[in-house]
């Protein structure tokens, strides 16, 4: 069973990691917490899920009494509450600062202490109260407890102003941090607000507004100018411009008219369209896009996992250093300056929270994934942003990926007594059941040429499609082969060696060679640019791998600037080539389009499928989906991924470096607690702001 909750008042990213770990210790529970989207995803696999769920809820309260779980759909309530909380907090901190200033001017000692105590109380009561509650949990590395100990300690040794300042800065820093995280979350959310919540269902007379979930396949809907297309469908009536930028990232207008497919999420431009719905809400393009991006932010990248592991060691180590610092140096100096070192140790506690680290990485990935989605590149998880960024080898499929996949016949050669018509007819019959792009083109060309004589599938039996080879079938009682040279070799049929510019399909029936058809498809306009952009990104290994024959592959490769060509491959040989490279330690991206490519998409480090949700199998097997047909988007995806990854790395290295530096400064007495607070909240805030850069172009 899967459950999803919204988390409220989760204190910091470090807490999220710790809570997730606690929940995962419950038997039968797999928990995933995303601090950025404030989401808890639970997979419960026990005999009594309800009981386990209660156990989870208790564990959450035990971890931190302040955390609340909300069901999905109650987000508005939650947001409202958090906003109110923020206002209260601002008031508290203002009061605290005013009292602090007042206290500075008061000479009478006992009154001064009382006013400072009030000031401290106002800024810290929730943290201290939280810490007391959490002590029961024996969670000594809890951020609230660390901050409380540090500030109360400072207060006790007479450092009133520092104690108050720590709490005020800490609180204000957290407010800023939350606002920044919320901003980025809302930004990404608004990028994905491409769903029209209702459809105007047309019942033959009038339109009725109906929620999408209750619109069935086959329903007729009206889409008014300016409205978004709510569900995928086919135009029945009307001609209009569609703005498809929200789903493909291209700012190109597309004209649609009756018989054309419309995808949900695009905006109807000029005139009314009547559309027949072809997909339910859950299967429509928009839902798939939103699902993919939302789930993407939950699967964690290696860097992210490293950081949460690191943070688990970081806190205890700094904590240990603090204890050493408090006791060891005073021993050597005869216990004279105990309070000096006690103070430094307390400062260490402030720096010991790993939050800056923990939040900065997922937030960078989150922003990057959102920005990529905006340009029509859907990434299924942070891991793949990482693999894209590290990719040093990109292998392209040829047909349908670098070429359009729409074939024209450039020549038909009939051997001996056979005729061109006969050959084309056999080919059309053989391709009748195939979904390959070659098949679609042959069928189309045949239908155009012989509208009087459509294919009669009653004459086709024993049909087999051999991926990367062609078709075997019994047609008009003869055993027919249509495919490449390898297919004919397999059946030991002699055929001429033809070197033509294009793909050669040989045709034979009952072991008699009939002739061949040369078909050509165009190279996509964008392919050459795509390869150039990739080499500009310093990707050294760019290769073409195809099931087509060598000369036709080389022709394409030469034109677009690829040096490495692997031709005549069966699907499993394509897989071998990828495996060879990954075994050598390369990070391989495979770019493909069709059913034949699914194994290669799956085995590569990052499988990129092109052309949107064309073939489900390809989308399923791939890690990145490019919504358009443009190979240049591969370079764009890699570029954005590199940027995102770089930001994540900057955040990690930057925050570790600053923290270490400040620890050293504190340890040697060059700095006070306020710098410690900067190392904690200030650095988080910097990291958060840096992450937001991943959202920019």
427 close to 482: Cβ distance less than 8 angstroms: yes
Residue given tokens 């200030």 in the structure block: 682
The window from 116-124, 302-310, 482-490, 615-623 that contacts ligand ADP (CB under 6 A) reads 482-490
CA distances in angstroms from 461 to 417, 471, 473, listed in the order given: 26, 12, 6
The Cα–Cα gap between 21 and 60 comes to: 11
The window from 237-245, 480-488, 655-663, 686-694 that contacts ligand ADP (CB under 6 A) reads 480-488
We find the least distance from the C-beta atom of residue 498 to ligand ADP, in angstroms, to be 12
Partner touching 471 among ligand ADP, Mg ion, none, CB below 5 to 8 Å by kind: ligand ADP
**Token pair for residue 658?**
């600053």
Partner touching 100 among ligand ADP, Mg ion, none, CB below 5 to 8 Å by kind: none
The Cα–Cα gap between 626 and 608 comes to: 7
Partner touching 361 among ligand ADP, Mg ion, none, CB below 5 to 8 Å by kind: none
We find the least distance from the C-beta atom of residue 484 to ligand ADP, in angstroms, to be 3
Handedness of CA 17, 19, 24, 30 (dihedral sign): negative
Q: Which residues, 589 to 608, sit near ligand ADP by CB under 6 A?
A: 596
What 3-state class would DSSP assign to 522? strand
Would you mind telling me the total number of residues written for the chain in this entry? 697
Examine residue 103 and tell whether it contacts ligand ADP (CB under 6 A).
no
Q: How far is CA 540 from the centre of its chain?
A: 25
Residue nearer to ligand ADP on the CB measure, 212 or 556: 556
Residue nearer to ligand ADP on the CB measure, 220 or 577: 577
542 close to 527: Cβ distance less than 8 angstroms: no
H or E stretch including 224? none
The Cα–Cα gap between 643 and 161 comes to: 42
Residues 6+ apart with CB under 8 A from 695: 184, 187, 188, 367, 368, 370, 371
* Dihedral in degrees, nearest 10, Cα atoms 27, 37, 364, 396: 80
We find the least distance from the C-beta atom of residue 402 to ligand ADP, in angstroms, to be 9
Residue nearer to Mg ion on the CB measure, 329 or 614: 614
Examine residue 398 and tell whether it contacts ligand ADP (CB under 6 A).
yes
We find the least distance from the C-beta atom of residue 576 to Mg ion, in angstroms, to be 17
Residue nearer to ligand ADP on the CB measure, 431 or 629: 431
**Closest residue to bound ligand ADP by CB:** 547
| Residue 13 phi, psi (nearest 5) | -65, -35
- Per DSSP, helices labelled H in 106-244 are 109-135, 143-156, 160-191
CA distances in angstroms from 154 to 262, 348, 679, listed in the order given: 66, 12, 17
- Is 680 among the catalytic positions? no
The Cα–Cα gap between 353 and 174 comes to: 13
345 close to 318: Cβ distance less than 8 angstroms: no
Examine residue 684 and tell whether it contacts ligand ADP (CB under 6 A).
no
Q: How many CB atoms lie within 10 A of CB 586?
A: 17
The window from 136-144, 193-201, 546-554, 635-643 that contacts ligand ADP (CB under 6 A) reads 546-554
Residue nearer to ligand ADP on the CB measure, 170 or 429: 429
Residue nearer to Mg ion on the CB measure, 399 or 684: 399
Examine residue 547 and tell whether it contacts ligand ADP (CB under 6 A).
yes
Residue nearer to ligand ADP on the CB measure, 84 or 435: 435
The Cα–Cα gap between 39 and 185 comes to: 12
**Token pair for residue 695?**
């959202």
275 close to 233: Cβ distance less than 8 angstroms: yes
Residues 6+ apart with CB under 8 A from 213: 281
We find the least distance from the C-beta atom of residue 592 to Mg ion, in angstroms, to be 6
| Residue 355 phi, psi (nearest 5) | -55, -45
Q: Which residues, 489 to 518, sit near ligand ADP by CB under 6 A?
A: 503, 505
Out of 64, 142, 162, 397, the residue judged to bind ligand ADP by CB under 6 A: 397
Size of residue set near ligand ADP by CB under 6 A: 23
The Cα–Cα gap between 541 and 69 comes to: 49
Q: Which residues, 555 to 594, sit near Mg ion by CB under 5 A?
A: 594
Q: Give the full edge-to-edge strand order of the sheet including 377-379.
A: 377-379, 624-626, 606-610, 588-592, 393-397, 541-545, 564-566
Examine residue 548 and tell whether it contacts ligand ADP (CB under 6 A).
yes
Partner touching 181 among Mg ion, ligand ADP, none, CB below 5 to 8 Å by kind: none
The window from 11-19, 170-178, 326-334, 465-473 that contacts ligand ADP (CB under 6 A) reads 465-473
Out of 171, 173, 249, 483, the residue judged to bind ligand ADP by CB under 6 A: 483
Examine residue 468 and tell whether it contacts Mg ion (CB under 5 A).
no
The Cα–Cα gap between 223 and 230 comes to: 8
Size of residue set near Mg ion by CB under 5 A: 4
Residue nearer to Mg ion on the CB measure, 143 or 548: 548
Examine residue 521 and tell whether it contacts Mg ion (CB under 5 A).
no
The window from 215-223, 328-336, 395-403, 511-519 that contacts ligand ADP (CB under 6 A) reads 395-403
Q: Which residues, 592 to 621, sit near Mg ion by CB under 5 A?
A: 594
We find the least distance from the C-beta atom of residue 400 to Mg ion, in angstroms, to be 4
Q: Per-residue string for binding with Mg ion, 201-230, x by CB under 5 A?
A: ------------------------------
Rounded to a whole number of angstroms, the distance between the first and last alpha carbons of the chain is 39
Q: Per-residue string for binding with Mg ion, 371-410, x by CB under 5 A?
A: --------------------------x-xx----------
Which of 142, 232, 397, 623 is labelled catalytic?
397
Examine residue 548 and tell whether it contacts Mg ion (CB under 5 A).
no
Q: 311-343: buried (b, 16+ CB within 10 Å) or exposed (e) per residue?
A: bbebbeebbebbeebbeebbeeeeeeebeebbb
We find the least distance from the C-beta atom of residue 517 to ligand ADP, in angstroms, to be 9
Partner touching 307 among Mg ion, ligand ADP, none, CB below 5 to 8 Å by kind: none
The window from 63-71, 125-133, 302-310, 543-551 that contacts ligand ADP (CB under 6 A) reads 543-551
Partner touching 505 among ligand ADP, Mg ion, none, CB below 5 to 8 Å by kind: ligand ADP
**Token pair for residue 135?**
């002590």
The Cα–Cα gap between 609 and 601 comes to: 8
State the number of CA atoms in the 13 A half-sphere of 264 facing the CB.
30
267 close to 242: Cβ distance less than 8 angstroms: yes
> Vertex 646, ends 645 and 649: CA angle to 5°?
90
Q: Per-residue string for binding with Mg ion, 13-32, x by CB under 5 A?
A: --------------------
Examine residue 399 and tell whether it contacts ligand ADP (CB under 6 A).
yes
Q: Per-residue string for binding with ligand ADP, 433-462, x by CB under 6 A?
A: -x-x-xx-----------------------
Q: Which residues bind ligand ADP (CB under 6 A)?
A: 397-400, 431, 434, 436, 438-439, 465, 468-471, 482-484, 503, 505, 546-548, 596
Active site residues: 397
Q: Which residues bind Mg ion (CB under 5 A)?
A: 397, 399-400, 594
């Amino acid at each position: 069973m899967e459950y999803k909750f919204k988390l409220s008042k989760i204190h910091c990213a470090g807490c999220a990691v710790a809570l997730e770990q606690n929940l995962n210790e419950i038997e039968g529970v797999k928990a995933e917490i995303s601090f950025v989207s404030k989401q808890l995803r639970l997979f419960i696999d026990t005999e009594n899920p309800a009981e386990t769920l209660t156990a989870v809820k208790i564990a959450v309260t035990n971890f931190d009494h302040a955390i609340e779980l909300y069901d999905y759909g109650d987000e508005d309530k939650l947001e409202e509450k958090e906003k109110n909380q923020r206002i209260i907090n601002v008031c508290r901190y203002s009061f605290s600062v005013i009292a602090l200033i007042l206290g500075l001017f008061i000479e009478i000692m006992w009154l001064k202490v009382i006013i400072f105590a009030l000031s401290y109380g106002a800024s810290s009561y929730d943290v201290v109260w939280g810490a007391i509650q959490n002590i029961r949990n024996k969670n000594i590395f809890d951020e609230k407890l660390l901050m409380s100990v540090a500030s109360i300690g400072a207060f006790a040794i007479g450092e009133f102003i520092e104690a108050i300042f720590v709490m005020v800065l800490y609180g204000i820093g957290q407010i800023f941090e939350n606002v920044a995280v919320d901003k980025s979350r809302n930004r990404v959310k608004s990028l994905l607000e491409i769903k029209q919540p209702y459809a105007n269902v047309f019942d033959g007379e009038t339109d009725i507004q109906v929620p999408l979930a209750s619109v069935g396949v086959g329903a007729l809907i009206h889409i008014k100018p300016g409205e978004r297309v709510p569900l995928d469908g086919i135009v029945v009536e009307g001609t209009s411009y569609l703005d498809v930028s929200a789903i493909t990232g291209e700012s190109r207008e597309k004209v649609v008219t009756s018989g054309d497919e419309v995808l949900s999420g695009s905006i109807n431009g000029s005139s009314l369209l009547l559309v027949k719905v072809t997909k339910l809400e859950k299967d429509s393009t928009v839902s798939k896009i939103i699902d993919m991006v939302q789930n993407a932010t939950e699967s964690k990248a290696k860097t992210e996992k490293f950081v949460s592991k690191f943070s688990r060691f970081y806190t205890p180590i700094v904590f240990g250093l603090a204890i050493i610092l408090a006791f060891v140096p005073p021993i050597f100096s005869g216990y004279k300056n105990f309070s000096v070192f006690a103070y430094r140790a307390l400062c260490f506690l402030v720096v010991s929270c790993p939050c800056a680290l923990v939040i900065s990485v997922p937030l960078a990935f989150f922003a990057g994934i959102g920005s990529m989605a905006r340009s029509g590149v859907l990434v299924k998880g942070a891991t793949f942003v990482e693999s894209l960024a590290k990719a040093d080898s990109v292998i392209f499929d040829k047909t349908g990926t670098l070429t359009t996949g729409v074939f024209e016949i450039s020549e038909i050669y009939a051997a001996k007594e056979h005729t061109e018509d006969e050959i084309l007819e056999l080919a059309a019959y053989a391709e009748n059941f195939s979904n390959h792009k070659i098949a679609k083109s042959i069928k189309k060309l045949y239908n155009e040429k012989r509208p009087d004589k459509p294919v009669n599938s009653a004459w086709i039996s024993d049909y087999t499609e051999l991926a990367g080879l062609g078709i075997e079938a019994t047609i008009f009682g003869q055993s027919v082969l249509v495919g490449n040279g390898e297919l004919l070799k397999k059946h030991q049929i002699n055929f001429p060696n033809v070197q033509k510019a294009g793909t050669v399909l040989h045709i034979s029936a009952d072991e008699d060679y009939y002739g061949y058809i040369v078909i050509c498809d165009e190279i996509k306009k964008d392919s050459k640019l795509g390869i150039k952009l990739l080499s500009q990104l310093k990707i050294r290994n760019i290769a073409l791998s195809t099931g087509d024959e060598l000369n036709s592959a080389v022709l394409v490769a030469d034109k677009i600037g690829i040096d490495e060509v692997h031709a005549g491959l069966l699907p499993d040989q394509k897989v071998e080539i990828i495996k060879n490279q990954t075994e050598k330690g390369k990070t391989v991206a495979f770019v493909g389009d069709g059913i034949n490519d699914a194994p290669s998409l799956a085995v590569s480090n990052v499988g990129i499928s092109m052309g949107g949700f064309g073939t489900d199998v390809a989308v399923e097997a791939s890690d990145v989906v490019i919504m358009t047909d443009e190979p240049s988007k591969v370079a764009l995806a890699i570029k954005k991924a590199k940027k995102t990854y770089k930001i994540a790395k900057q955040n990690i290295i930057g925050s570790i470096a600053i923290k270490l530096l400040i620890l050293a400064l504190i340890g040697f007495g060059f700095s006070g607690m306020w710098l410690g607070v900067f190392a904690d909240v200030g650095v988080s805030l910097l990291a958060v702001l840096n992450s937001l850069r991943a959202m920019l172009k």
